[in-house]
Structure formats: structure tokens, C-alpha cells
Structure 1
Amino acid sequence: MTIKNRKIFGQVLFILIAFYLDGLMKWAFLNNMNRGTVIILPQLMLMAIVMLTMRIEDRRQLIIYGVVFGVIYDSYYYGIIGLYTVLLPLLMVGIDHFRFLLIKNNMGYDLSIYFLALTFLQSGIYLLEKLLQQTSTDALDFITFTLGPTLLWNILVFFLLYVPLAKLSEWLVKYRRDK
């Protein structure tokens, strides 16, 4: 197995572990917090995908990751194939398209990209669910009781996990050894 194939395997494993930790976090920590009107949705998989998207150069690989992990996420959490399957590749290509503005990866830039990605993804899911008549929540309730708490929770988790995830994603994308 070549180094490139090992790195791709590591990237896929990294995203799958983040996907598993999403479900584990929701089950272990947030079940007690999501009993009222406030709904918090952990997005560790999105955090891992944003970190890798900021560092992977191949757009074709990004689209494949977006479609595959979007289908997996949809089939496991939603049961409606199409929400993440459509929005995740669009999000990854959008991040890749505007990456030229980046001078150097740093925490502030990664945080702002993750914040915008999370806002785009949650708002897009809400709009698609509204379009498919899967939700009856109005926009102000969505912003107040779902989007706001989700953004706050995920930004706090981002601050806690940024250094290890950034180092790991940087290592998973590098193909050559430094001299």
C-alpha cells in the first residue's frame, strides 16, 4: 500500500471516528439537555470534514468524500437520503473554492469557516425539511431553539478539540516527509 493510499485510508477512518463520536456525544451528553424546546446537534463529523477540506488539494476527492459521508449520515440519522448528500459536497466545494483567500491555516480562520459551514448546513437542512414538509417549526423558533444552541455547543467543542484535530488533519494530508 502506497503512502497516498494509507493517507486516504487514514482520512476516511478519521471522518468515520468523528461520525461515531457525533452519535456517542448525542447519546451520552445531550440526551438530557434535549428534553425541552432547545435542540443541540453535535457536528464533530462536519468539524473533521472542514479541517480536511482546508488541507486537501484534490476537488474530486472532496466531492467523493462529501457524497459518501453525506449518504452515510443521511441513512443513519435522517432516513431521508438527500439532505447531507446534497449539502455536504456543496459545502466542501465552496470551502475549496474560497481557500485561495487563506494565507496560513490558523485557529481564527478555521473557526470562522467552521462557523459559516455549520450555519449553512443547519439552515440548508431546515430549508430542505421545510420544503419537503418534514417540519412545522417556523424560522424564528429554528434560529432560537436549534441554530443558536447548536452553534454555541459546537464552537465550544471546536475550541476544546482544535489543536489535536488540526495536527491530525495536517498529518493525514501531508504526503511527503519533511526534510
Structure 2
Amino acid sequence: MPIKTQKIIGQVVFVMLAFYLDGLMKWSFLNNMNKSSFTIVPQLMLMALVLLTMRIDNRRTILIYGIVFGLIYDSYYFGIIGLYTILLPLILVGVDHYKFLFIKNTVGYELSIYFLALTAMQSGIYLLERLFRLTTSNFGDFITYVLGPTLLWNVVVFFILYVPLANLSDWLVKYRRESK
């Protein structure tokens, strides 16, 4: 099996593992925290996809990842195909479009990209749910009780997991050694 195929399989396994850890965190650890009016949505899969998008140069691959993993996320959590299937590819293509503005990826830069992607994802989900009448909460409640706690939780998790996830995504995207 060629090394490129192995790396692509590794990328898919990496994102699926992040998806699994999303669910594990949501249902075991955060289940006790979401008893009050606050709702925290872990987004490790989005974090893994943003880190891979920052390193992959092929927009077609990014778009395929966004559609496939959006379908998987929708079918598992929502049962309504469309929310993540539409938003995830759009956000990943947006990240891919703007990643060339900076020369070197740093922690602060990748955190800001992830923060913006997470904000766009959660806001887009809220707007689509309002459009399809799946929620009745107003925008102020959404910001206070969903978006704020979600951003805070995911930024803390980003700082904790950045080094291992960034190194793993670097390794999964590079196909050969660079010359010194």
C-alpha cells in the first residue's frame, strides 16, 4: 500500500477518533455539567478537521472530509441530515481559503482560526435550527447559555490537546522527509 494511501487512512482514523472522543466526553463527562441551563457542546472533531485543513493543500480532499464527516455527525447526533453536512464543508473551505494569509502556523493563529470556525459552526447551527423551527430560544439566550460555555470549554480543551494533535496532524499530512 502506498504511503499516501496510508496517510489518508490515518487522517480518517484521526478524525473518527476525535468524533468518538466527542461523544465520550459529551455523554460521560459533560452529561453531569449540562444539568443546569448551560449547554456545552464539545467539538473535538471540528478541532481535528481544522488542524488537518491547516496542513492539507488539496481543497477537494478538504471538501470530501467536510461532507463525509458532516453526514456522519448529522446522522449520529441529529437524525436530520443537513445541519453539519452543509456547514462543515463551508467552514473548512473558508479555513482553507484564509490559511494562506499567514506564513507559519502558530498556536495563537490556529486558536483564532478554530475559535472563528467554532463560532461560525455553532451560530450556523442555531440559525438553521431557528429556520427549521427546531428551537424556540432567542439569540441572547443562545449566546449566554450555549455559545459562551461551548467556546470556553473548547478553547481550554484546545490548549490542553494542541501539541499532540498538531504534531499528529503534521505527521499525517507530510508524505516524505523534507530536505535540510
TM bucket (normalised to shorter chain) is over 0.9
Q: CA deviation at 1:86?
A: 0.4
In structure 2, stretches of 5+ residues that fail to align are none
Per-residue CA deviation, residues 21-80 of structure 1 (Å, 9 max, x unaligned), is 000001121000101100000000000000000000000000000000000000000111
The code of the aligned residue for 1:153 comes to: W
Q: Distance between the aligned counterparts of 1:143 and 1:18, measured in 2? A: 25
Q: Distance between the aligned counterparts of 2:37 and 2:84, measured in 1? A: 24
In structure 1, stretches of 5+ residues that fail to align are none
Partner residue of 1:75?
75
Partner residue of 2:111?
111
Larger mean Cα displacement after TM superposition, 10-19 or 27-36: 27-36
Q: Distance between the aligned counterparts of 2:114 and 2:92, measured in 1? A: 11
Partner residue of 2:140?
140
Partner residue of 2:101?
101
Partner residue of 1:168?
168
Q: Distance between the aligned counterparts of 2:100 and 2:26, measured in 1? A: 35
1:64 has 2:64 as partner: yes
The code of the aligned residue for 2:109 comes to: Y
Partner residue of 2:17?
17
Q: Distance between the aligned counterparts of 1:80 and 1:42, measured in 2? A: 19
Q: Distance between the aligned counterparts of 1:79 and 1:130, measured in 2? A: 17
The code of the aligned residue for 2:108 comes to: G
TM, length-normalised to structure 1: 0.99
SS of the aligned residue for 1:55 comes to: coil
Q: CA deviation at 1:143?
A: 0.2
Partner residue of 1:88?
88
User: Could you tell me the percent identity over the aligned residues?
Assistant: 69
The code of the aligned residue for 2:106 comes to: N
Per-residue CA deviation, residues 123-159 of structure 1 (Å, 9 max, x unaligned), is 0000000000000010000000000000000000000
1:29-68 correspondence to structure 2 within 5 Å: 29-68=29-68
Q: Distance between the aligned counterparts of 1:143 and 1:124, measured in 2? A: 12
Partner residue of 2:125?
125
Q: How big is the alpha-carbon RMSD for the aligned residues of Structure 1 and Structure 2? A: 0.6
Q: Distance between the aligned counterparts of 2:178 and 2:102, measured in 1? A: 22
TM, length-normalised to structure 2: 0.98
Any runs of at least 4 consecutive aligned residues in structure 1 with deviations exceeding 6 A, and if so which? none
What count of residue pairs does the alignment treat as equivalent? Answer: 179
